[in-house]
Amino acid sequence: MSRKRKELPILENIEITDVAAEGNALAKVDGMVVFIPYGAPGDIADIKLLKKKKSYAEGRIAQLCRPSSVRVEPRCSHFGVCGGCKWQHLPYELQLKCKQQQVVDALTRIAKIELPPIYNIIGSDNIWCYRNKMEYTFSNKKWLTFEQLASGEDFPDRDAAGFHIPGAFDKVLDIDKCYLQDHLGDEIRLFIKNYAKTNGFSFFDLKNQNGLLRTLMIRITSTGETMVVLSFGEDSPAEISSVLTAIKDKFPFITSLMYVINTKPNDTISDLDIKTFYGKPYIEEQMEGLTFRIGPKSFYQTNSNQAYKLYSTVREFAGLKGDELVYDLYTGTGTIANFVAKRCKKVIGIEYVADAIEDAKINSQVNGIENTLFYAGDMKNVLTDDFVEKNGRPDVIIVDPPRAGMHTDVVDVILNASPERIVYVSCNPATQARDLALLDTKYKVESIQPVDMFPHTAHVENVVSLTLK
């Protein structure tokens, strides 16, 4: 018989003093750090402890005794449940200050190398409706809030179209309105949900792995093009055609209407055949006169306006004069490679995902760019000393790795290649700091520029330029 877990106490009248990593707020109680979501510096609250370790604890606000003066009213009715935006209750100026500090803390505490002053973070002009891509899940197990459960009311209709609840893989929060994408995204999602319910089409059951409507991806570019990709959990041609035809008739301006049959245990569609029902198999985004084709599997920065600021910073930090050989590692669909190509002699891009490399080549062709060369494969296997010897020693290396940072083998090859300059783009300042410490044997950090790509979240991008010592 298992032992009953001991009920943790409620800590009364605790002052929340700061904002910590992962978007949580922070309080200190008798020398112990307590992490609390949705708190604000200056809050006085009763904190219900949920987990307690030797050096820290995790809790939630059981009662807000005295709200902080810095708090603002969240715009979204789903705030606090959805989990997508953790900082809507904080003014944007404070969000930027917290992200700036996140970069400072990571680079000083983890890298522990000589650093120049860090530039002030580049904020986002749009803090609402800034995302060009949103993904939703259909489920027959709608998440019920604590208030709904406590009401004693019966909820026979559990169909939902929205976001996964953090920590509950089979529960989905039904979304009325999301403020992160253009309102058109809400219109499309709600139309599909209501059409399916009206016609008795089933929503996916994540536990039993059955049901027609499974996932939905909506991409809206700054040029006004729209892509809708609907994933079906069952191969039912008549029902699928009915749904897609209804979408086409209701939203005839959709540029690309696509669908995929996914009967796998997971929601990923990158390994599946995505079919075009109506329109083109891609949409186009534009940046500084360049056109980028975006397919259903393509990666493109989800904040188009901020992406331009980010890539402009990268290009500036690269210090290109026109005669350089540039390596663009983790090139994705070649956005950075094509963006800097006109300022250098040649760009060589490397990316793990083969489909992304094909997109990168297409983007070069569409823009008439002839000085790019792309390779697909695992970075640590492609980027070797032999590769550098064959393709030439780079003058500049641009790296934009995933959150885990760079493999040590990749760092070693970069050090051996010894380019004059490295530009390191990161969505995770902690792993970036770790890698900067490894590069410190031969490189000096010259410039640091944080960029906010995702208002109301704790995520921050950071660009660092390094020069050969």
Residues with a known catalytic role: 427
Show the beta-strand stretches assigned E in 69-225: 133-139, 160-165, 168-174, 213-220
How far apart CA 379 and CA 401 sit, in angstroms, is 10
Helix (H) or strand (E) holding 307: helix 304-318
Ranges assigned E (strand) in 110-182: 133-139, 160-165, 168-174
Residue 121 main-chain phi, psi, to 5 deg: -60, 140
Q: Strands across the sheet with 133-139, in order?
A: 168-174, 160-165, 133-139, 213-220, 226-232, 256-261, 275-279
Rounded (5°) CA angle 176-177-180: 150
**Considering Cα of 148, then 150, then 153, then 159, what sign does the dihedral take?**
positive
With b for 16 or more beta-carbon neighbours within 10 A and e for fewer, the 411-429 pattern comes to: bbbbeebebebbbbbbbbb
SS3 label, residue 349:
strand
Q: Please tell me the distance from the alpha carbon of residue 309 to that of residue 121, in angstroms, as a whole number.
A: 11
Question: Locate tokens 């009920």: which residue?
Answer: 7
Expressed in angstroms, the distance from the first to the final Cα of the chain is 63
**Residue at 419: amino acid letter:** P
Would you call 359 exposed, middle or buried from its count of C-beta atoms within 10 A (0-12, 13-18, 19+)?
A: buried
Distance CA 220, CA 181 (A): 8
Q: In whole angstroms, what is the distance from residue 294 CA to residue 363 CA? A: 9
